């Protein structure tokens, strides 16, 4: 049975995406709202203000997750719509923001149409989904789902040395609500694909079956600084060379194993990082991902062998620190079927797919049925200031989300005191 959704407004969604995109806007386009920075705090303030305008009950938990709840006609677990508004340093308007602001748009449309629901509806903003400043990624939703204890999370150090607890307090989001206090009966996350598949295949809606496994490792390579001009190659203990060789071999490994395996060295910091000094130290990150856990473990074993061999050859010491390790996650089959059926009911083309990116939905899947809706990314780009999804595509996913949420929350007979939903 479909629950014909209230008329949602893509224009109002785009207006909110653009308004939020002005917070932390980069010269030349794009957004930088790294988790728990002042810009993230300002973005949170804007979203909370919109939540209050929509008449939502706002709660902030102790890891800074924000929950805006529209009461239902009967108490009980919420139908939760969530994502994140923190970005990478070269972020776009849509990654994460779309899922949160589409949730607000669903609420606004219900308010405008005077539709009450039986179940409460909660729009959630999870802390530090990106993992760019604090690791692991999806930290806030992981704590919410009971996968990381609060004290450990609060004690996390940022890549810039700041303490997570201090940063949370500094932006005013060290909330008092208990972790996991708002229970979800189901969780929907609407997100851009961030890859090329939907665009290349000209498909409108991605029906996401799950998220691939993620393995993040930090290597600290210690060699010995020496003079670039006087030190013969055979006498060097060059941390920079070791990092470069590991980078090249990990990438070659991914290409050799092939299939869906991806390997990325996104960060390399050399010390002293000077033109005429053989690097004493290199701190680098390696991101490995694959949809199959056994294949990911095999890649990790190969990665460890590469590091050991190169360390011996270059006479450097290497320390490893796991930054994140999540096994592949499968979403709820019944909910996946509903995403597909609702999209088809609205005349949309679909294809089932695994997510290459991590998402808060993979953590919520630990505590309730979860599913995701994807829409195309132009040129498959994300984590890039040119990230773009056309308004038509934004509207397609928004309508599917609205119908799924109303179906799950159930229409109630009472007419709530609606508030205007203007952006």
Among 137, 209, 403, 407, binds ligand HGY (CB under 6 A): 137
**Is residue 270 close enough to count as binding ligand HGY by CB under 6 A?**
no
For ligand HGY, give the closer residue by CB, 85 or 107. Answer: 85
User: Which region among 4-12, 74-82, 128-136, 150-158 touches ligand HGY (by CB under 6 A)?
Assistant: 128-136
40 binds, among Mn ion, ligand HGY, none (CB under 5 to 8 A by kind): none
Q: Side-chain half-sphere of 9: how many Cα atoms within 13 Å? A: 20
Q: How many residues belong to the chain? A: 423
358 binds, among ligand HGY, Mn ion, none (CB under 5 to 8 A by kind): ligand HGY
Structure tokens at 271: 């010390």
Q: Give the integer Cα–Cα distance in Å for 279 and 195.
A: 36
For ligand HGY, give the closer residue by CB, 13 or 35. Answer: 35
Among 61, 129, 332, 407, binds ligand HGY (CB under 6 A): 129
**Is residue 240 close enough to count as binding Mn ion by CB under 5 A?**
no
Q: Give the integer Cα–Cα distance in Å for 189 and 99.
A: 6
Binding mask 303-342 for ligand HGY (x = CB under 6 A): ----------------------------------------
Among 131, 195, 369, 397, binds ligand HGY (CB under 6 A): 131
Instruction: Tell me if residue 371 falls in helix, strand or coil.
Output: strand
**Is residue 130 close enough to count as binding ligand HGY by CB under 6 A?**
yes
Instruction: Tell me if residue 326 falls in helix, strand or coil.
Output: strand
Q: Regarding beta strands 66-70 and 57-60, do their DSSP bridges make them parallel or antiparallel, or are they unpaired? A: antiparallel
Binding mask 152-191 for ligand HGY (x = CB under 6 A): ----------------------------------------
137 binds, among ligand HGY, Mn ion, none (CB under 5 to 8 A by kind): ligand HGY
340 binds, among Mn ion, ligand HGY, none (CB under 5 to 8 A by kind): none
- Buried/exposed code over 49-64 (b: 16+ C-beta within 10 A; e: otherwise): ebbebbbbebbbbbbb
**Is residue 189 close enough to count as binding Mn ion by CB under 5 A?**
no
Q: Give the integer Cα–Cα distance in Å for 341 and 65.
A: 31
Structure tokens at 167: 């940063």
State the sign of the Cα–Cα–Cα–Cα dihedral 79, 54, 62, 101. Answer: positive
Q: Answer yes or no: are the C-beta atoms of 278 and 228 closer than 8 Å.
A: yes
For ligand HGY, give the closer residue by CB, 289 or 302. Answer: 289
The least CB distance from residue 261 to ligand HGY, in Å, is 15
Cis peptide bond upstream of 79, omega within 30 = no
The least CB distance from residue 98 to Mn ion, in Å, is 9
Q: Answer yes or no: are the C-beta atoms of 91 and 129 closer than 8 Å.
A: no
What number of other Cβ atoms are within 10 A of residue 387's Cβ? 23
Q: Answer yes or no: are the C-beta atoms of 43 and 23 closer than 8 Å.
A: yes
Instruction: Tell me if residue 269 falls in helix, strand or coil.
Output: strand
User: Which region among 62-70, 130-138, 178-186, 218-226 touches ligand HGY (by CB under 6 A)?
Assistant: 130-138
Residue written as token pair 């999209």: 343
Closest CA to 371 of 392, 350, 389: 350
Binding mask 87-106 for Mn ion (x = CB under 5 A): --------xx----------
189 binds, among ligand HGY, Mn ion, none (CB under 5 to 8 A by kind): none
The least CB distance from residue 99 to Mn ion, in Å, is 8
**Is residue 358 close enough to count as binding ligand HGY by CB under 6 A?**
yes
Q: Answer yes or no: are the C-beta atoms of 282 and 221 closer than 8 Å.
A: yes
The binding site for Mn ion (CB under 5 A) comprises 95-96
**By the criterion CB under 6 A, which residues form the site for ligand HGY?**
129-131, 137, 357-358
């Amino acid at each position: 049975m479909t629950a014909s959704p209230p008329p949602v407004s893509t224009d109002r969604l785009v207006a909110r995406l653009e308004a939020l995109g002005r917070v932390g806007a980069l010269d030349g386009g794009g957004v930088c709202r790294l988790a728990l920075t002042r810009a993230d705090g300002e973005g949170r303030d804007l979203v909370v203000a919109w939540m209050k305008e929509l008449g939502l009950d706002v709660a902030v938990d102790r890891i800074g997750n924000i929950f805006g709840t529209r009461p239902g006609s009967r108490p009980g677990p919420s139908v939760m719509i969530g994502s994140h508004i923190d970005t990478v340093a070269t972020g776009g308007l849509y990654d994460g923001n779309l899922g949160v602001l589409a949730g607000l748009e669903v609420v606004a449309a219900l308010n405008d149409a005077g539709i009450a629901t039986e179940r409460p509806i909660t729009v959630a903003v999870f802390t530090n989904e990106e993992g760019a400043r604090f690791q692991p990624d999806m930290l806030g939703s992981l704590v919410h789902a009971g996968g990381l204890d609060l004290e450990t999370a609060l004690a996390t150090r940022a890549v810039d040395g700041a303490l997570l607890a201090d940063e949370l307090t500094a932006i005013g989001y060290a909330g008092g609500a208990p972790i996991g206090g708002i229970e979800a009966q189901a969780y929907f996350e609407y997100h851009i694909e961030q890859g090329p598949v939907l665009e290349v295949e000209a498909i409108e809606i991605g029906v996401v079956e799950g998220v691939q496994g993620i393995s993040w490792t930090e290597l600290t390579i210690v060699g010995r600084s020496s003079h670039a001009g006087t030190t013969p190659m055979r006498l060097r203990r060059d941390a920079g060379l070791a990092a470069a060789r590991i980078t090249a071999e990990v990438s070659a490994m991914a290409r050799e194993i092939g299939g869906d395996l991806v390997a990325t060295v996104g960060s390399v910091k050399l010390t002293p990082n000077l033109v005429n000094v053989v690097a004493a130290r290199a701190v680098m990150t390696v991101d490995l991902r694959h949809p199959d856990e056994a294949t990911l473990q095999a890649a990790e074993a190969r990665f460890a062998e590469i590091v050991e061999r190169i360390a011996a050859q270059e006479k450097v010491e290497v320390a490893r620190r796991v930054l994140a390790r999540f096994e592949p996650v499968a979403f709820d089959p019944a909910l996946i079927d509903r995403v597909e059926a609702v999209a088809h009911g609205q005349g949309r083309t679909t294809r089932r797919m695994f997510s290459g990116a991590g998402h808060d939905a993979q953590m919520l899947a630990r505590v309730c049925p979860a599913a995701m809706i994807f829409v195309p990314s132009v040129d498959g780009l994300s984590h890039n200031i040119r990230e773009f999804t056309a308004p038509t595509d934004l509207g397609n996913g928004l309508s599917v989300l609205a119908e799924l949420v109303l179906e799950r929350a159930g229409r109630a007979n009472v007419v709530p005191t609606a508030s205007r939903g203007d952006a």
